[in-house]
Amino acid sequence: MSDTFFTASPHWTWFIIPYFFVGGIAGGAYFLAALLQWFGRPEDRPVIRTGYSLAFWGAIISGALLTFDLGKPFRFWHMLFQSENFPNLMFKSWSPISFGAWAILLFGVCAAVSWYGSRAIDGPPKGGALLAKLVAAVGGLFGFFVAGYTGVLLSATNRPIWADSPWLGALFLVSGASTGAAALTVFAPEASDRTIRWLKSFDAQALVVELVVLIVFLASLGSVARVWLGFWGLVLLVGVVWTGILWPLRLHFKPAIAGGGFRNPALMVLLGGFLLRVVVLLASNSIAVHRVASGGGGGG
């Protein structure tokens, strides 16, 4: 358990924070676009195209950020192929990193296919409609995985906060769904009023679930939760809980006071989603001690 012994902080650069954030948006946006392709109406096509476009470019950007974070970008292919037995594939079923590398790659492929197919103004031809839905179903599952994968990856480490709760993956997953819906609201100007209402309703429900999961996550941290009694706790309370969850919920339920900037619930959700990843990542690294006694302090 991380509350007995801590490993050193990962040698990550600042690239890892936008990677987590963009990956969550890409996964959430694709999942919502896939839902609309399966169960939506023809008027939902602008949002479907936007969702697949966000997923496609998000997969490229997040993949690039992850690659540059490695320090030696040209060695990224080693995560996919065995360097000594090329072209044999490199896949470690016990490694979250290996799972994530392949999930991002396959998600990017599905996003590219869906984005290209969605560019047809009248939708795919009848013969391709079923294939497009099948790709959307597979890509939606990968998007679901990518949105929550980063939280699972952190949980697999032996660092405070990250490894002290099984709820981090669920928190990042719900946040990805919320920020994905918010991004679709911002970047789909041609969307119909009905589709925008659906996105806002989905986002409001996702925010409620995110708040509940965040509370459960904090309660599950045990003695390590005292890290929030300082600067990062203030950022969490003001930046994530109020700015990114409670204030957007108020704007959703009282749209008369909504508007631009600080009164735009989608922008506030995106800001809160980014700050959530900043807080979770940097608060753990702010714990300088290598041992926290949760009940006495022994260990071998």
Q: Which tens digits make up the pLDDT trace of 232-258?
A: 899 999 999 999 999 999 998 887 666
State pLDDT tens for residues 48-80: 999 999 999 998 898 788 777 665 555 565 555
CATH of domain 16-223: 1.20.1630.10
Please check the confidence at residue 105 and state whether its pLDDT lies above 70: yes
Closest CA to 241 of 276, 209, 284: 276
Q: Does residue 87 have a cis bond before it (omega within 30 degrees)?
A: yes
Phi-psi category of residue 261: left, alpha or beta, with phi > 0 → left and psi -120 to 50 → alpha: left
Q: How many other C-beta atoms are found inside a 10 Å radius of the C-beta of residue 42?
A: 9
The residue count for the chain: 300
pTM above 0.85, yes or no: no
Specify the DSSP class assigned to residue 294: S
